[in-house]
Amino acid sequence: MQTRMVETDGRRQAVLEAGQGPLVLLIHGFPELALSWRDQIAALAQAGYRAVAPDMRGYGGSAGPDRPDGYSILHLVGDMVDLVRALGETRCIVIGHDWGAAVAWHCALIRPDMFAAVAGLSVPFQPRRASGPPISAMAAISKRAGLGDLYISRFQADDAHAIFDADPATALRKCFYGYDGATSDQRQSTGFIPPGEDMLSVVPGDATLPPWMSEAHFADYVAAFSTSGFKGPIDWYRCLDLNWSLTAFVQDRRIEQPSLFIVGERDPVRNYSGKHEAEQPLWLTDLRGQIVLPGAGHWIQQERPDAVNAALLEFIGSSGVL
């Protein structure tokens, strides 16, 4: 397993890779890095695949622009298209977790010729809604439910990244703890923030590292985010309404490639995206499975590596696309 820089169209992307054979692209989410896929890269390489996980735009070793509109879904999909080409390939299987799942779904939606099969972890495919942009709709739903603001709404503020940049170690520890399956119901984050609180203050101050994360592994995260900061990653969220305006051309389009969805039973993201799980068969016409991992939280490829690896290898092997 090695880290190297790959030159793409006007950008340099840091990737973690191993193995030889058909290409499998692994896309991380927030607040993660390519290294979140270490267990999957090792398993895929051993099984005869070329596994490549990039630090995504604005994360770790892959620098991003200063302006928020430089992180639209079209930029993110374009980065993955450019990366596949730079790796000397024309087709691959794409797998994403969290925000990376949204990117993976859109890779499959927009470029089915290149992305031959797709798996999403934790975040189901969510089609574009003709009714209008999502941020105001999220705010209205939260207000009616009386749960406070969904953290995504709070991330729209220009300074939303400041509390993360002020103390990256504490911010990361609280994020991993608050969304982990080993954290009790009473201490786990819900995704909703009451007035006067923020995404970090709602997590207990004595939050510890999850059982699956070593101090050395955590130190790699802290070093990366202390250098690159959180503005770029949170700019992804600031593009949600922009993404809606840019994607009318895929309105009502379905994903026809082989697909798979995996989610942790205790993933807090299900509090606000779980309703889309039931709709997956409507939009994924070759859905090979929806797997719910008992007791797992949000960070499933790191919390449950063996189960995730087994599911991905079975899916990739049976898809017959590479």
What positions carry a catalytic annotation? Answer: 98, 298
Q: Do the beta carbons of residue 321 and residue 23 sit within 8 Å? A: no
Amino acid at 116: A
Structure-derived torsion over alpha carbons of residues 133, 136, 139, 141, reported in degrees to the nearest 10: -60
Helix (H) or strand (E) holding 190: none
Helix (H) or strand (E) holding 292: strand 284-293
Helix (H) or strand (E) holding 71: none
Which two three-digit tokens encode residue 166?
């002020």
Residue 8's DSSP bridge partners are 11
The Cα-based distances of 36 to 33, 41, 145, 199 in angstroms read 6, 10, 34, 22
